[in-house]
Amino acid sequence: MEKNAKIYVAGHRGMVGGALVRRLQQAGYQNIVTRTSKELDLRNKQAVDTFFAEEKPEYVFLAAAKVGGILANNTYRADFLLDNLQIQNNVIQASFDQSVKKLLFLGSSCIYPKMAPQPIKEEYLLTGTLEATNEPYALAKIAGLKLCEAFRDQHGSNYISAMPTNLYGPGDNYDLQNSHVLPALLRKFHEAKESDAPEVEVWGTGTPRREFLHVDDLADACLHLMLHYNGKEPVNVGTGEDLTIRELVELVRDTVGYKGNIRFNTDKPDGTPRKLLDVSKLAEAGWKYKISLPEGIREVYKEAFQAVPAV
């Protein structure tokens, strides 16, 4: 991928897209094309076709998606399925129509079966039932991944797919109704500390295990894959390490400095019991994460919630 190549990052206002733009710029890529959702509705096929015909990007990072946590996924099921199908279908089709040299599609680790053996290998895809709460989103992402494979099989298109684990980092969503577990916990504990609340409620039992990757590490991995990987098979992107939700809660509590009690509401859903990715394929491709979870959480909390002292 030449330094002056025209690169389209779809979804650059999101956490992943923003990290991709930062990483590309750090690496010396300056010809980056972006559009906000107001400027270009990726659900609108005609608008996407016109954009691609006018801009003719050579490389595409497809990071645009409708995303959210358990509550949002389970509440807006039709939106999550339809919006994501439309976004990825339009971008992948337009990429083919305009002879894009290479496309990287970002899936999600939630596309794997709920009870998949751990750690999860790429070949476990479609071997079991999905987690019910985020099934619509997962089905859309599976369709996108398979569409990339189908274009490769039928037309020889160099479309690759990456499956990131749970992400966090700059630009995350801290809305308690729609956010993922880590940013939601940061906000809960910060607000409890600020208000001197005696207790913080956490959904579930605290026993599920989760893996977390800093979004800047994901962006680095995506650039690495774009430069060095041309395989048909999707690639897991993660740390290969996990911890329990209880351990995560305690880590966030200590980072924030909250001194009150923690109450696990076992009437609320846990989601998948464990979700740890096997990252051996990514390791074979020559990549490993750099940002540790305690370090990453400290930086994210500082950026998102702690006021910068006046100079």
Which active-site residues does the annotation give?
137
166 is in an annotated binding site: yes
73 is in an annotated binding site: no
18 is in an annotated binding site: no
State how far the alpha carbon of 159 is from the alpha carbons of 95, 141, 153, in Å: 10, 14, 10
109 is in an annotated binding site: yes
14 is in an annotated binding site: yes
69 is in an annotated binding site: no
Contacts 24+ apart (CB under 8 A), 134-139: 134/70, 134/73, 134/74, 134/80, 134/110, 135/77, 136/73, 136/77, 136/78, 136/80, 136/81, 137/66, 137/67, 137/68, 137/73, 137/80, 137/81, 137/84, 137/108, 137/110, 138/108, 138/110, 138/111, 139/81
For residue 172, what are its two tokens?
A: 């995350």
Residue 235 three-state SS: strand
Label residue 224 left, alpha or beta by phi (over 0 means left) and psi (-120 to 50 means alpha): alpha
165 is in an annotated binding site: yes
180 is in an annotated binding site: yes
108 is in an annotated binding site: yes
Q: List for the chain the helix, strand, coil content (%; round to 5).
A: 45, 15, 40
203 is in an annotated binding site: yes
State how far the alpha carbon of 256 is from the alpha carbons of 139, 168, 192, in Å: 36, 16, 10
Q: Rounded to an integer, what distance in angstroms lies between the CA atom of residue 156 and that of residue 288?
A: 29
3 is in an annotated binding site: no
16 is in an annotated binding site: yes
11 is in an annotated binding site: yes
Q: Does residue 265 contact residue 202 with C-beta atoms inside 8 Å?
A: yes
270 is in an annotated binding site: yes
Sign, CA torsion 284/11/187/78: negative
31 is in an annotated binding site: no
Q: Rounded to an integer, what distance in angstroms lies between the CA atom of residue 117 and that of residue 112?
A: 10
Binding residues for NADP(+) are 11-17, 106-109, 141, 164-167, 180
> Annotated binding site for substrate: which residue ranges?
188, 203, 210, 270
Binding positions are 11-17, 106-109, 141, 164-167, 180, 188, 203, 210, 270
